[in-house]
Structure 1
């Protein structure tokens, strides 16, 4: 509904816990922001009557709370002491195909196997064509299914060897949770695009896209899964309190490239990703924004009797706006951080009102202004990003109705000019406002109706992130710079190969 990019998925897994499926449910609830179209859980246990392992599964379209709205699901269906879960967001063309809802589950010659995937395989089209020539039938349009086919077609002897064989053939961005009859396997691609963390609760290991999923269940964060690491959790790992790790080599000529946009927008501020708290990074982005664009260099008509106000576009830019205001105050630029926009948290992404016809009306169902705060003041709006610019225009129009003295728009990231091929959904280049106007800031400002517009520089973004988190790993800035760290097939069509 809103003019923001979307992450494709959130994943969670837990091994050897009496409440495995229930804890997975809570973990998915904490990761709801990473995928809001469908949710699913697969568990595993040994069925004494059948004399074999079974993998019950429950998944459907909808939010986690609606998909798992019956407590009987956990008592009667999702038995077992190990489980994986998945939240999904997909491309619109294939979002209503139930075959694409994850986790995927199969039974093949070496037993049961279930998988949840966050990311996008950059060599998916090549792999799909190979399997088609071999006569393989596909049940979904998801590139995740390709991983299952690679495992089942491997000529290696053991299941673990087959999984490693498959992983060495895929390229791009991927974090995986794989559940076998006796193991939980967590995988992060060699470039480390997407976040994945390892935790522990009651002596049981757990993995999740973000650490906020650990907080909701009372698990302790241990560390991040390293780029290229394949962590195997089984009874032996539990006994020695140390999972076994294998490592995948990055593509030749590439290096670790953690997605910097996870810090800018996607991840929850209470999560730790890539080794640092998101809230801390966002405050740093706001501080860097203040250094590059201090308030005293922005205002056209400052009112000596009224402090300019800094407001955020809730909720993802709240902490960046705080950082911006505090850094200005520290530098002697008198301003006030205030609440000028109120967000209606009871409106979901799929909300449709009777007779609703315009994007403007959708924005008005989501936000409202606090007129007493805005009227007669110079307003500095801080947002994390501008994509198409349509929502920004409607927000500015709403703020104009509250009679501010002037409106300036600051963005705590550089202009988005390129699509993402590593697990995020951005519009086509023609729809990106910064690309349409060839990065002309004055033209973009006129388009969204503000007195001025300023972006954080690409150099400032990296500087702010590295100051708060001097990670030994690099960052991917492709959506801002067009520098893709891993080769991509620009001819891949989303309708043909859904990204999940």
Structure 2
């Protein structure tokens, strides 16, 4: 796939800044640490702008559509390096490892040490598409860089202007930001900013963050970041880059993951998952704590830490362990593959079924299926093979043609399936469309019985914290019970991991995970701003 690449940046100009002055309050604990004196994991660290595009953006249209999309999608992955002469190249590698977290677009912003300028390359497509030309990485010199891979939550799905990191210039210099999450109050904040004269260049909620920082009168930048983040509601793991510092921020609930590592040469690395640290030979140090703001100064590699106020109870996304994260990652302090193995074992204990073979829906169902096999004693085999070389498929008008598209990605192994009673283990069911296609695929391959086992509770609620899920009316388990879903997808039986069993597996940490997609108990309730919008329109 040919990538569309942009070297676009933006200029922010102050516009009648408020006269109020503010600074970092004493309530924000600030600590300075040298590189090898990191804060302990238990320590709680934590003008109206106008945007003018300097170069024209590329067309927003995208003729592709993933007809097989029937999973929640993690919206973004972030990666940052400071203190390494190959920062951009390491960022490129780290983003490739995080590619599963976003396939629509990618970008890197690097700080050129010699010129003290930030330089950006962003584009549509996979990381390898965006940086297909050797000149792309050569144009990003320096010892600091941040990168981003994306799907979209807020913002047009296939718009180049929404691809991050965003790079802006304002009265204090250049600032780049990469964001993983979703801001629940971005509409309200955007309307307030626009009512005072702000002009937005993108439809991404991340742009609100830059506007708020640019309009803040706090000093220094750490204070402006804290002031901005304390006005945000929702999920955000953020990386900021200036000419001489890198900042990492995680929202007070800790919805989305963000970790810190250290390379043998002393360079610090930030990433959405530890698998990206492993790739660049960075030793995992710890998570960025919920509500923590970390600043690293390139001059001496010292670390400053502060905490957002008020503190909140952690509500980490449990779906990271079920589907989003790679199994070789440690997320929220837990090994992902161990979690999925435990989910599968519990599923076998809760919902046993006599069968000849257990197969996973690749790739995320692998460890749960293995756990089911170990607990049930039913042999485990790979009955479905996944092709990793198939991109998005064109929309086809005929249903029978669309049904065939699943075979591009999943191929049955007839020797494993013919005449067998098969247990199929998947991580989740969202709309049910892919599950029904898989059931038909297995029956066509000769399976005598198909028993679906899902290693998560039924998905009954939409996510508002950085995950692309359909509306509740589209969620099959929100419209019917397990028996109805079973009939709809055509399997011989169907069972989900119960929510109570999931809580038992999480133990004392269960209250620290967000399970709103299963329980509809939202830590930050979704909000609508009809009254704000009405007042804005009347004004």
* TM-score > 0.5, shorter chain as reference: yes
Identify the residue that residue 304 of structure 1 maps to in structure 2: none
Query: Residue 199 in 1 paired to residue 264 in 2?
Result: no
Partner of 1:248: 308
Which residue of 2 is the match for residue 154 of structure 1?
A: 216
2:326 is aligned to: 268
Q: Secondary structure at the match of 2:405?
A: helix
Q: Distance in 2 between matches of 1:93 and 1:274?
A: 28
> Is the 8 Å Cα contact of residues 122 and 172 (structure 1) preserved in structure 2?
yes
Supply the distance in 2 between the matched residues of 1:372 and 1:11 (Cα, whole angstroms). Answer: 42
Aligned mates of 2:359, 2:156 — CA distance in 1: 37
Q: Which residue of 2 aligns with 1:474?
A: 512
Question: Deviations 1:168-220 (Å, cap 9, x if unpaired)?
Answer: 11111000000011111011100000000000112011100001111111111
Determine which of 495, 499, 509 is the counterpart of 1:458: 499
> What's the CA shift for 1:473?
6.9
Equivalent residues of 1:360, 1:391 under 8 A apart: no
1:90 and 2:148 correspond: no
* 1:256 Cα deviation from its structure 2 partner: 1.1
Match of 1:213 among 276, 282, 285: 276
Counterpart position of 1:410: 453
Q: Is the 8 A contact 1:255 1:474 kept in 2?
A: yes
Equivalent residue, structure 2, for 1:367: 410
Q: What is the DSSP-based 3-state SS (H/G/I as helix, E as strand, rest coil) of the residue aligned with 2:161?
A: helix
- CA deviation string 1:53-72 (max 9, x = no partner): 21110010010001001222
Give 1:289-438 correspondences, 5 Å limit: 289-294=347-352, 298-299=353-354, 308-329=356-377, 335-348=378-391, 350-352=392-394, 358-437=401-480
Q: Does residue 447 of the first structure (1) align with residue 488 of the second (2)?
A: yes
Residue 65 in 1 paired to residue 125 in 2?
no
Residue 319 of structure 1 and its aligned partner are, at CA, apart by: 0.3
Corresponding residue of 1:19: 86
Q: Out of 91-100 and 442-451, give the one that drifted further.
A: 91-100
**Alignment partners' CA distance in 2, 1:402 and 1:250:** 57
State the distance in 2 between where 1:235 and 1:266 align. 32
Deviation of 1:276 after TM superposition, in Å, equals 1.4
Could you list the per-position Cα deviations for residues 100-147 of structure 1 after superposition, in whole angstroms to 9, with x for gaps in the alignment?
A: 110001111111100000001111111011001101000001110000
Unaligned runs of 5+ in 1: 300-306, 330-334, 493-500
Identify the residue that residue 8 of structure 1 maps to in structure 2: 75
CA distance in 2, matches of 1:274, 1:237: 29
Query: Which residue in 2 is equivalent to 1:238?
Result: 301
Q: CA deviation at 1:351?
A: 3.6
1:252-299 deviations in Å (ceiling 9; x for gaps): xx52100000000000001111011110110011111112112xxx34
> In angstroms, what is the RMSD of aligned CA positions?
1.9
Question: Structure 1's 472 and 260: CA in aligned 2 closer, same or farther, altered over 3 A?
Answer: closer
Once residues 156 and 417 of structure 1 are traced to their aligned partners in structure 2, the CA distance between those partners, rounded to angstroms, is 43
Find the residue that maps to 1:86 and give its secondary structure: strand
Answer whether contact 2:360 2:424 (CA < 8 A) is retained. Answer: yes
After superposition, residues 25-44 of structure 1 pair within 5 angstroms as 25-44=92-111
> CA, structure 1 residues 491+34, in 2 after alignment: closer, same or farther (shift >3 Å)?
farther
CA–CA distance in structure 2, aligned partners of residues 192 and 25 of structure 1: 25
**For the residues of structure 2 that align with 1:414 and 1:290, how far apart are their CA atoms?**
14
Tell me the matched-pair count. Answer: 461
Contact 1:275 1:471 survives alignment (8 Å):
no
TM-score by length of 2: 0.83
Contact 1:255-1:485 within 8 A present in 2 as well: no
Equivalent position to 1:185, from 224, 230, 247: 247
The change in CA–CA distance for 1:353 and 1:136 in structure 2 (over 3 A counts) is: closer
Q: Give the C-alpha shift of residue 148 in structure 1.
A: 0.4
Alignment partner, residue 303 of structure 1: none
> Which blocks of at least 5 consecutive residues in structure 2 are unaligned?
1-65, 531-539
